[in-house]
Structure 1
Amino acid sequence: MQQFLTVRGCAPTRWNVPFLAGLLAVLAGCSSPPPKPPPAATAPVAPPPVTVAPPPLPQPTHTSQAPTPRDYRRDAAKHLYDRNTQRIFAGKLPPLLYAVGVLQVDIDRMGFVTDIRWMRAPSHAPEVMADIERSVRAAAPFPAPVRMGKVTYTDTWLWHKSGRFQLDTLTEGQL
């Protein structure tokens, strides 16, 4: 063993064997650990998709159980009267009216007006036509036609020269 422990031509002695062992231990402790391998390339983790619920559909405030457009016409006329209480002609109408118009109104399943068509327009009184159309649109939403889904109803507007009116469906008659 002595032949293996010679350092730089020095003969081994009792004191230099422990010294050399200690030196080797110190040098071994000073070495750095082997480098860690680089982390494997991983795809970025995407957060789970956020599911956004659609906003709830507006619910109709009033409904109509009318099974036919003719029955719905009464509910629509009452609705228009409720929205125009100050403009309804009370009592029997005089024999001569300023204007008479027949209007068709399309109502969707929620009670909103989708179209208005004149079947008999009071063309001599365009201001009356505009006022009637404005009144119908302003009264929306109408009672939702729950049994029919959507409806097209027709009513006759009886217009007095004072600007008040009656609908044929709820008229009190004429003198």
Structure 2
Amino acid sequence: MKHSTTLRQAAPVIAAALLASCTSTPLPPDTSAATVAPARIQPMPESSPPPAAVQTVRTSGASNPRAYRSDAATHLYGLNQERIWKGRLPPLLYAIGVLQVEVDGRGNVRNLSWMRAPKHAPEVIAEIERTVRNAAPFPAPVRMGKVVYTDTWLWHESGRFQLDTLTEGQD
């Protein structure tokens, strides 16, 4: 019994250490990506946010929306590493969408606005919106107070994606 109590007490510390070890360094290309059979989008499971003791809001020193976009993209990649397309994207993508995200001074998502929605793929629209909302809080835009930034989502039919800000290009 004492061992399981110790593990429960250590869980928040372990989770914090894992979050702190996230990196923005691009991962090496996944050479098996071209041989993976395409599958339809599988939404991320709804999960409860981490305990308040573990959830820390990072800050962004960006002074304009374009600079903030890079911080936001890195944040999204860190939370969705298993969903990021590794390497160059194939020439034909399932969907491309351009989304504006309004982030308040605390990093909370206040509004999502599609500039170019992939209307042929409503499941992608829903999944991108869910992914962005679940990623909150974003890095707090301390120099701007709040920010509205725009990024382009490059979506493969497997459900993996890249953001234009951090894309590795396309074949």
With normalisation by structure 1, the TM-score equals: 0.66
Residue equivalent to 2:46 = none
Q: Report what 2:91 is aligned to.
A: 95
Alignment CA distance shift 1:166-1:77 (3 Å): same
Q: 1-side partners of 2:57 and 2:84: how far apart? A: 23
Q: Which runs of 5+ in 2 are unaligned?
A: 1-54
Shift of 1:67: 0.4
Following superposition, which runs of at least 4 residues in structure 1 exceed 4 angstroms of deviation? none
Q: Which residues in structure 2 correspond to 1:77-96 (within 5 Å)? A: 77-96=73-92
Compare relative contact order (CA 8 Å, sep 6+) and give the higher one, 1 or 2: 2
Count of matched residue pairs: 117
> Take 1:126 and 1:112, find their aligned partners in 2: how far apart are those partners?
24
Cross-structure match for 1:13: none
**1:115 equivalent in alignment to 2:111:** yes
Alignment of 1:19-98 (within 5 A): 61-98=57-94
Structure 2 CA distance for aligned equivalents of residues 96 and 144 of structure 1: 35
Identical columns (%): 71
Aligned AA (1:112): N
Q: Which residue of the partner structure matches residue 164 of structure 1? A: 160
- Could you tell me how far apart the structure 2 residues matched to 1:141 and 1:117 are? 18
CA contact (8 A) 1:60 1:110 kept: no
* Structure 1: stretches of 5+ with no match in the other structure: 1-58
Which residue of 1 is the match for residue 124 of structure 2? 128
Distance in 2 (CA, whole Å) between partners of 1:155 and 1:121 is 12
**Matched letter for residue 155 of structure 2:** W
Cα deviation for residue 60 of structure 1 reads 6.0
Q: Given the two structures, how large is their TM-score scaled by the length of structure 2?
A: 0.67
Higher gyration radius (CA):
1
Aligned to 1:142: 138
User: How far off is 1:83 after superposition?
Assistant: 0.7
Shift of 1:61: 1.8
- Residues in 2 aligned to 1:165 and 1:116: alpha-carbon distance in whole angstroms: 18
Corresponding residue of 1:152: 148
